[in-house]
Structure 1
Amino acid sequence: MKNNDNQTPYMQSLKTRILETAMKEFVEKGVKVVRMDDIAKSLGISKRTLYQIYDGKEELLYEGLRRFMQRRREKVEEVMKTSDTVMDVILYVYRLNVEEFRQTSSDFLTEITHYPTVQVLFSEDREQSYERFIGFLRRGVDEGMFKDDVDLELISVMFSAIGAYITSNKLYLTYEMNKLFKDLIFVSLRGFCTQKGLKHLERIEKEM
């Protein structure tokens, strides 16, 4: 990947515009069909200028996903700080996932699994998410939403495995995201909810 530390403000701005344009095209159409030529033409720049900033589609995809994941983490962290209960966070994440999935082509979801650098990025994110999710579960226990006699680390591993299974088996091609949440995530969640947690979960399911 290129070293862009010494770029001018204009080039930094252009870099951001390229990234946003490329990701919009990738998400809507899939990665394969979008050419570097298409991205350059959309921005009114030469392909040479584009290659001065990004080596190719894999770098664009990597940087775009890294930026997206960082922003997503920040959104969820902000909701964590301002929400009354962990159940409010779950509802927010559910709505966020459904909306993102609605805007994303199935080709994009399938094709991003073929890029080695992207897989490394996902692997690193899963490791970080593991610790964050355990913290989330502990908060739920403190709030009386989750049982205090369950192994939180094992629960975190289970949900990570569910997410990996959905991705590796491309269940998003067969099922809508709200069904995956309801029949996989929420059914699993019920197993370690207290009576108080179940009441809140039922409220969430009605709002869904």
Structure 2
Amino acid sequence: MRKTNNMTAYRESLRHKILDTAMSFFKKKGIKAVRMDDISTELGISKRTLYEIYSNKEDLLFECLRNENEIMTKRLADYAMTAENEMAVIAYFIKIKLKDLGTINPLFFTEMEKYERIVRFFKENNEKQSARSQEFMEKGIEHGFFRGDLNYDIINKMGDAAMNFVMQTRLYEKYRLNEIFHTFIIVFLRGCCTEKGLVYLDKFISSGN
């Protein structure tokens, strides 16, 4: 029984190492340039072992994205439990995204469009995030950080349209991804904030917290 448990723990540990390594490669090189051989060589495992866990590159890519989304969601939820207020959570999210986007090769997004399952995953996940965003903004309104005279469902849909425009026109080939995100999110947020919200937003973003 102990041997079985140890093997299970090893496989689970290996699975996470594969996801971390593969995601790093995908973001740095783009999807097409990454081979399963590259990942197995980097981890010092056989290609057979890799294929036993992920049967093909698309399955691996999908799991990478799903895993990263789960990690981000949990990370934000954990931070929110001890954060000073909603503006602190937003500032924390912005800093994480800016750091991440600064490391991503635009090819990563361009080539991702070829995978229908991936596109569908992003669409479904975006719908879930919109629901969470609505709840978050309502709390911010209650605490006086966000304006209560705006329809946030409309704002969310406008945000989706803006991101779709970025993807469809491949604006990320002209401007850096973190620059696009920073420009969009700051304009978006400042339009939603009350004077109290703006004070806190500027405080947390400039403080480096």
TM-score by length of 1: 0.86
Q: Shift in Å at residue 34 of structure 1?
A: 1.2
Output aligned runs, 1:150-169, within 5 Å.
Answer: 150-169=150-169
The answer on 1:176 being equivalent to 2:176 is: yes
* Structure 1 equivalent of residue 149 of structure 2: 149
* Structure 2 equivalent of residue 36 of structure 1: 36
* Structure 1 equivalent of residue 3 of structure 2: none
Question: Secondary structure of the equivalent of 2:59?
Answer: helix
Determine the C-alpha separation between the residues in 2 that align with 1:201 and 1:55.
45
Output aligned runs, 1:87-166, within 5 Å.
Answer: 87-166=87-166
* Structure 2 equivalent of residue 46 of structure 1: 46
Matched AA of 1:37: D
Determine the C-alpha separation between the residues in 1 that align with 2:178 and 2:26.
23
* Structure 2 equivalent of residue 189 of structure 1: 189
Matched AA of 1:159: G
* Structure 1 equivalent of residue 77 of structure 2: 77
8 Å CA contact 2:76, 2:93 repeated in 1: yes
Give the direction of change, closer, same or farther, for the CA distance of 1:165–1:79 in structure 2 (3 Å limit): farther
Determine the C-alpha separation between the residues in 2 that align with 1:14 and 1:191.
45
Q: Percent identity over the alignment?
A: 37
**Structure 1 alignment gaps of length 5 or more:** 1-6
Determine the C-alpha separation between the residues in 2 that align with 1:191 and 1:25.
37
Give the direction of change, closer, same or farther, for the CA distance of 1:162–1:78 in structure 2 (3 Å limit): farther
Q: Shift in Å at residue 25 of structure 1?
A: 1.5
Q: Shift in Å at residue 182 of structure 1?
A: 4.5
Q: What per-residue deviation string (whole Å, max 9, x for no partner) do you get for residues 108-161 of structure 1?
A: 222222212211211121011011000111011011111112212222222232
Q: Which moved more, 1:8-17 or 1:21-30?
A: 8-17
Give the direction of change, closer, same or farther, for the CA distance of 1:85–1:177 in structure 2 (3 Å limit): farther
8 Å CA contact 2:25, 2:34 repeated in 1: yes
Question: Secondary structure of the equivalent of 1:191?
Answer: helix
Q: Shift in Å at residue 207 of structure 1?
A: 4.6
Matched AA of 1:123: K
**Structure 2 alignment gaps of length 5 or more:** 1-6
Determine the C-alpha separation between the residues in 2 that align with 1:102 and 1:206.
19
